Amino acid sequence: MKERTVQLEVLRYNPDTDTEAHFQRYEVVCQEEWVVLDALNKVKADIDPTLNYRWSCHMAVCGSCGMMINGEPKLSCHAFLRDYEGVIRVEPLAHFPIERDLVTAPDDFMEKLKRVKPYIIPKEKKPISEGEYKQTPAQLMKFRQYSMCINCMLCYAACPQYGLTPSFIGPAALTLAHRYNQDSRDGGRAERQEVVATHEGVWECTFVGACSEVCPAHVDPASALQQMKITSSLDWIVEHLMPGGKSARDTASREDAGDIS
């Protein structure tokens, strides 16, 4: 196997001793086919055991090892060394507070995820004796793409709107709201609209589109948010401009009821 010496420039921050973050350079002998995460593991094992970062699966499934690699949000297990030349700069995910070295605090994202109620809220609860909630393959395809999110938060690190306005609910959480809104078994759109159709919700999005470009699971959050802008606008039109228009909550309930047929 071919070896290559890689220069890593890693952002370090120790909350116990530092007031600012600083870069530290490591020279690591790597195998040509390694990814950035392998190089970090080599650093931790052989050069500097104090280096902190998160990782788990090493196969782009768990979403733990998101970092900025040369300024681009990436899963470090998915960033091949062969695609980089010169010094590779590794920083924690942008727009999140740095806990220590490459470890960020995801508290804000977790809080927002809860607010969009990312779970099925059944239209009508039925006893187990009545059997399962059935779904056709076509109904599944309506939301399947948006269910592939691995909560890696790369889209938040890519989104300048989230960086500038941290109250923005953000791409992944809103996309999950869309995923459940699109589910034929779900009746919770009206409840989610209270978070989705607000200035902190889809209307903070200006369609930069960076979220979709960096998504390692090809979820395309930008498309989910634009679709929710359309449905939210239709809600507004029905509520304010149509004679006898009902509130968004009523409209949503009516649409959901229509989906059953």
Partner 1 sequence: MSRKPLVRECPPTTWYFRQPRYMRYMSREITSIFVGAYCVLLVVGLQRLADGPTAWEGFLLALQSPASIVFQILAFVAAVYHAATWFNATQKAMPLQIGEGFVPGNLISGAHYAAWAVLSLIVLILAGVF
> At how many degrees (to 10) do helices 171-181 and 221-240 cross?
60
Q: How many CB atoms lie under 10 A from the CB of residue 125? A: 7
97 contacts partner 1 (rule: CB under 8 A): yes
Within 8 A by CB and 6+ apart from 255, the residues are 189
Torsion sign, CA atoms 244, 246, 250, 256: positive
Tokens describing residue 210: 């960076």
Nearest CB to partner 1, comparing residues 178 and 192: 178
Residue type, 242: M
How many angstroms separate the CA atoms of 200 and 170, rounded? 8
210 contacts partner 1 (rule: CB under 8 A): yes
The nearest distance, CB 209 to partner 1, in angstroms, is: 7
Tokens describing residue 158: 């890519």
CB 30 within 8 A of CB 81: yes
From residue 10 to residue 39, the character string flagging contacts with partner 1 as x (rule: CB under 8 A) and all else as - is: ---x-xx-x-xx------------------
Q: Which of 1, 49, 59, 71 binds partner 1 (CB under 8 A)?
A: 71
Nearest CB to partner 1, comparing residues 74 and 95: 95
Nearest CB to partner 1, comparing residues 13 and 109: 13
Which residues inside 103-122 make contact with partner 1, applying CB under 8 A?
105
* Strand partners for 122: 186
Q: Which of 141, 237, 242, 257 binds partner 1 (CB under 8 A)?
A: 141
168 contacts partner 1 (rule: CB under 8 A): no
Q: Which residues bind partner 1 (CB under 8 A)?
A: 13, 15-16, 18, 20-21, 71-72, 94-95, 97-99, 105, 137-138, 141-142, 160, 163-164, 206-210, 212-213, 220, 222-223, 226-227, 229-230
